[in-house]
A = this chain, B = another copy of it.
């Protein structure tokens, strides 16, 4: 199996490592628009060769689109067009393309009426770190996590089966959901935690002018809460933008909850503070 990975950052690079080491891919080629990242990915040995998009699509059986979702929305139809051209030229195309983006509805709409739609599988592996670039790639990033597969009825059974094998190789647990539900639920669970973390970093940087104090007073708690504020703008700007409607709703609820704390604290209402904390503690039942 020849795998082509477009975008050799944290996700694409980490996939490249495990898909090669675990024998899913015989050869991995990559495409990387940033020349520094491309050189680094080759030097680190994430991929066997760095190619142009056209060469990569031509040479690969399975293409993984691992670029920020704004770029993915533009590139997905281009790749499906190349599949179409191959089918027209040679009578058949057996290639599959997947994306690994964090929002799904707009990508899904973009591909919906494409004649090669069945060759595309929409996926979202729920794994990552706050770091980015080829040097952030690591083995085992996906192990034991969930991977969402969206609108699989629009993909061919063969393509879905291949993608399930890929994620099984990465030790991921598949979950099936439509693209629109995916975007609602990820806004509620995943995207909001990035907003809260960015806002926390901005607050601390704003209120605490002495950087040494921040370092000294940051116990493990602050570090873990603010961790996501290191996340990359290239990745998160299009996610927030594409998931705007769901995010606005969850941000409004979030502001209400912060205000509830403010009100209880301001009113010396210790019973109220306790009730809020104990209510929040229910998360223990769900998250280890």
Residue ranges of A at the interface with B (Cβ–Cβ < 8 Å): 126-130, 145-146, 148, 175, 185-186, 188-190, 192-208, 211, 213-233, 236-238, 240-241, 244, 247-255, 257-262, 265-266, 268, 270, 273-274, 276-288
Given A224-B228, A229-B281: A190 and B219 interface contact (C-beta under 8 Å):
yes
Bound together, the chains give a CA A257 to CA B258 distance in angstroms of 12
Please tell me if the beta carbons of A266 and B240 are within 8 angstroms of each other in the complex. Answer: no
Given A146-B216, A217-B185, A225-B196: A266 and B254 interface contact (C-beta under 8 Å):
no
Please tell me if the beta carbons of B217 and A146 are within 8 angstroms of each other in the complex. Answer: yes
State the copy count for this chain: 2
Cβ-neighbour of A278 out of B222, B233, B241, B280 (below 8 A): B233
> A207: shortest Cβ distance to chain B, in Å?
4
- In the complex, besides A206-B257, A236-B273, A237-B274, 14 extra interface pairs with C-beta distance below 8 angstroms are A127-B220, A129-B220, A188-B217, A198-B277, A202-B257, A205-B282, A211-B285, A215-B287, A225-B228, A231-B277, A237-B277, A241-B270, A251-B261, A255-B255
Please tell me if the beta carbons of A217 and B189 are within 8 angstroms of each other in the complex. Answer: yes
Which has the most chain B C-beta neighbours within 10 Å: A129, A219, A250?
A: A219
Cβ-neighbour of A273 out of B196, B237, B253, B254 (below 8 A): B237
Please tell me if the beta carbons of A258 and B255 are within 8 angstroms of each other in the complex. Answer: yes
Bound together, the chains give a CA A229 to CA B285 distance in angstroms of 12
Given A208-B189, A217-B126, A268-B241: A258 and B199 interface contact (C-beta under 8 Å):
yes
Closest-by-CB residue of B relative to A181 is B213
Interface of A, secondary structure class, is: helix
List the 6 closest pairs (A to B, CB-CB), nearest first: A199-B257, A201-B283, A201-B280, A193-B225, A189-B217, A198-B280
Given A146-B216, A189-B218: A248 and B265 interface contact (C-beta under 8 Å):
yes
Given A237-B270, A270-B241, A276-B202: A214 and B248 interface contact (C-beta under 8 Å):
no
9 pairs, CB–CB < 8 Å, chain A vs chain B: A130-B221, A188-B217, A190-B217, A193-B226, A197-B225, A211-B286, A214-B286, A222-B287, A233-B278
Question: Which B residues are CB-close (under 8 A) to A220?
Answer: 127-129
Question: Which B residues are CB-close (under 8 A) to A258?
Answer: 195-196, 199, 251, 254-255, 258
Bound together, the chains give a CA A274 to CA B240 distance in angstroms of 10
Question: Which B residues are CB-close (under 8 A) to A238?
Answer: 270
Cβ-neighbour of A283 out of B205, B219, B224 (below 8 A): B205
Given A192-B204, A240-B273, A288-B223: A229 and B198 interface contact (C-beta under 8 Å):
no
Bound together, the chains give a CA A162 to CA B277 distance in angstroms of 37
